[in-house]
Chains A and B, each alone.
Chain A
């Protein structure tokens, strides 16, 4: 492999990591609270607002059912408004984030809903406010589930980030398509796939370790 290709590979890996990190961070920042709200806003729950819940649920579903590559193209005007341009790695972060928010929200909602309702009741009986219940009970108890959810999100983001080559986002996927496929360089393709596999493996095992560490439910007596 030539030095040129190696430089391209390092640059592409950097771009992928950059996009995944920023989109993952901003996506979680919005996605986690949205997930908590979705899990606590039905009738009779902590923040009862059934109609808002329904509307947000619809938006989340709509975003999640739009194929990512179509979402990227469809929101180009919005991307330009936010990032100042619709082309390049930074611009690519906008659709990545937009796709991440509902993804995180649904997974976090599931993790929160798995917390035993008896714990919420016990906290209410202690005189806890709804916000105290969210922070001291729901988020604390759902930590293993949320760690798994974020791991899955990052793994999916690594996959999504491969598609943003379409708007000049760069990254490993773009390298694989343009060099490996279009220029018939199977060795580049192989190495791109290998790097992606290693990245996903690293993220997955780190996430699993974190989830295990948070999970105190099945400790030996």
Chain B
């Protein structure tokens, strides 16, 4: 991909950005509820319940949840494809819920969107698909040519310019979708499960492209997904949604390494080191019995992962430590390790050990007891 192209695109964007806007978040949900079927006499479905959410300017914010958790509804509220039943949806300070169709259309031109199934027009070539939002905005032919060509280059598909979507692979289609979303030089990019229909390798390349766009063009990205991998790879902020409520949100590293909510834990199940080996789970009991060993999960975050804390448990406190399982992963670009250890010590000593670990910035969690 061409760096010069990225640079020109980035420059043209910086000029149009208001300097004072730095402090307002790009998107803010204030007590947003959405109910379907209200007032029609049928069963009412609560899709979103009093949602409060902040998408910081310039961030990649991910919303993760199971299917049916309300993710799709949530992202569609941002560009007014859905209207909230109550509450405010502020995009760059403007409440989009209160806009009429006409003003909403101009707001939508400043928000790009990409989709799980790409939603490219089969009757248009790659070039003409990218040109569509510009045609809709009434941009003249010469300008369209000038805008679309560098976008094809940015997504690495200059040679596919005159190809129809049916002649492209899934990953190429999504690249065209991304180029199309960028055509009107938006300040915000919405991604609706953009990698869910792609294989793992293509997923990685699309995520890398999104990350590059976020960094180089300073574009805020709001994405919804059910894949932990996506969040782990590119989201610097995350919100966990369950049953129409945001149950946790904050910087990805913090939320994932010190998760408080059951849903987050369940979603994290896919992360390496979260699964306990079977020989442990089958033998583990909830309460200690005489002579049992305490099973502890110790979480290492980034910087403190290197210090030989476990060795010092032995030497300083005289506790015998056995390592049962462990893994090191990376979240939002920071190393994150987990060790499952067993301690042969009485409850009071285990507490001292945990206190010692906490003093050195390591969180731990008692998982159970094994005889």
Contact = CB atoms under 8 A, between A and B. Distances in A.
Interface of A: 116, 118-119, 121-129, 132, 136-137, 140-141, 143, 214, 216-221
Secondary structure dominating the interface of A: helix
B115 interface: yes
A146 B100 CA distance: 33
Given A119-B119, A140-B123, A127 B105 contact: yes
Given A124-B81, A125-B108, A127-B136, A221 B167 contact: yes
23 contacts: A116-B119, A118-B117, A119-B121, A122-B113, A122-B119, A123-B132, A124-B81, A124-B108, A125-B190, A126-B109, A126-B132, A126-B136, A127-B108, A127-B184, A136-B132, A136-B136, A140-B124, A141-B121, A216-B123, A218-B166, A221-B166, A221-B167, A221-B169
Contacts of B137: 127
A118 B115 contact: yes
B122 interface: yes
Interface of B: 79, 81, 104-109, 111, 113, 115, 117, 119, 121-124, 132-133, 135-137, 164-169, 184, 190
Contacts, number: 72
A136 B135 contact: yes
A126 B137 CA distance: 9
B109 A127 contact: yes
Contacts of B121: 119, 137, 140-141
Nearest to A137: B121
A116 B137 CA distance: 22
A104 B184 CA distance: 37
B166 A128 contact: no
A216 B166 contact: yes
Contacts of B113: 122, 125-126
B48 to A, nearest CB: 19
Contacts of A116: 117, 119
B284 to A, nearest CB: 47
Q: Which of A121, A124, A129 has the most CB of B within 10 A?
A: A124
B123 A214 contact: yes
Q: What 3 A-B pairs come out closest when comparing CB atoms?
A: A127-B108, A122-B119, A126-B133
Given A124-B81, A125-B113, A216-B164, A118 B132 contact: no
A188 B108 CA distance: 66
Contacts of A122: 113, 115, 119
Contacts of A121: 81, 115, 119
A136 B115 CA distance: 19
A127 B96 CA distance: 13
Contacts of B168: 221
Contacts of A118: 115, 117, 119
Given A141-B123, A216-B122, A216-B164, A128 B81 contact: no
